[in-house]
Amino acid sequence: MKEKILIIEDEKDIVKMLDYNLKKEGFRTLSVDDGGDALDLVNRERPELIILDLMLPGMDGLEVCKALKKEGKTASIPIIMLTAKSQEADKVVGLELGADDYVTKPFSPRELIARIKAVLRRVQEKDKLPEAAKIGELSIDFSRIAVTVKNKVVELTAKEFELLKALIRAKGRVLSRDYLLDNIWGFDHAEEIQTRTVDVHIRTLRKKLKSEARRIITVKNYGYRLDYEV
């Protein structure tokens, strides 16, 4: 499944053009035209990348960027800013606030898509799993496919291990049941009985993790995330 991209832009023609070209490349898209509303949508949808216009009604793009990079749950989401040529100083400020790239209006859709792919590649390289990880009393050795809780070996099935790995890779982001089905089971369109497959495997995974099961949080009507702080 291709990445979800959020377009934060109030010019309808630009949104329409971006939506068409991104979907043509296989990306999923969402859009919002107000900076304040954008923050709520990002927290709800957790896109893989954000295209952010600087000139927005209400909360401007720089404020949106600052707010997203300040919040732990959204700080790692890459941002590509859309700027006008006259906003040279804003480009510098945006990059200093944590934006990953910028594109100047008017722009070529092909150039923007190339930049999106480049940013996503960099993020994926950065997000590659280490050989091992430790979260509380839970230890995972990815190279050996081994899991322990309080130094006791936990025997997981292949699917349970892949579920745990996906949750760790997400770094606290919520993963939908459909996403898990598509990426672990290979189902493109989950029916109700298939969706329950994820719930059943999560339930058995929690039982096996025992005291660390509390880290797998259910997000009602959507999916699951891993809590690093409990």
Cβ contact 52:82 at 8 Å = yes
CATH architecture group of domain 4-126 = 3-Layer(aba) Sandwich (3.40)
In the chain, DSSP assigns E strands to 4-8, 28-32, 49-53, 79-84, 101-105, 132-135, 138-141, 146-149, 152-154, 175-176, 216-219, 223-226
Long-range contacts of range 129-134, CB-CB < 8 Å, 24 or more positions apart?
129/165, 129/168, 129/169, 133/168
Check residue 163 and give its pLDDT: 93
| pTM beyond 0.75, yes or no | no
Q: Where in the chain is the domain with CATH 3.40.50.2300?
A: 4-126
pLDDT (0 to 100) of residue 152:
94
As a whole number of angstroms, the distance between CA 96 and CA 98 comes to 5
Residue range(s) of every CATH 1.10.10.10 domain in the chain: 132-226
**What is residue 23's DSSP assignment?**
H
Name the strand (E) or helix (H) holding 159: helix 158-169
**Euclidean distance between CA atoms 77 and 99, whole angstroms:** 9
- Non-local CB neighbours of 195 within 8 Å, separated by 6+ positions: 177, 178, 181
Number of helical (H) and strand (E) elements in the chain, helices listed first: 8, 12
For residues 227 and 2, which has the higher predicted lDDT (pLDDT)? 227
Phi-psi domain of 59 (left: phi exceeds 0; alpha: psi -120 through 50; beta: other): beta
Tens digit of each residue's pLDDT (9 = 90 or more) over 120-130: 887 776 666 67
Quote the pLDDT of residue 188: 42
Choosing among 3.40.50.2000, 3.40.50.300, 1.10.10.10, 2.60.120.200, the CATH entry for 132-226 is: 1.10.10.10
Averaged over 12-27, what is the pLDDT?
95
Q: Kindly report, residue by residue over 155-185, the tens digit of the pLDDT.
A: 998 889 989 998 988 888 888 888 788 777 7
* Residues 105, 81 contacting (CB under 8 angstroms): no
pLDDT in tens, 179-220: 788 777 764 444 444 668 889 999 999 999 999 999 999 998
What 3-state DSSP class applies to 47? coil
* Mean predicted confidence (pLDDT) in 12-30: 95
Q: In 130-212, which ranges are E strands?
A: 132-135, 138-141, 146-149, 152-154, 175-176
Which residue has 């006008």 as its token pair?
84
Q: What span, in angstroms and rounded, lies between the C-alpha atoms of 151 and 230?
A: 19
Share of the chain above pLDDT 70, in %: 91
Report pLDDT for 190.
42
Find the mean pLDDT for residues 88-105.
80
Picking from 209, 114, 198, 77, the residue whose alpha carbon sits closest to that of residue 155 is 209
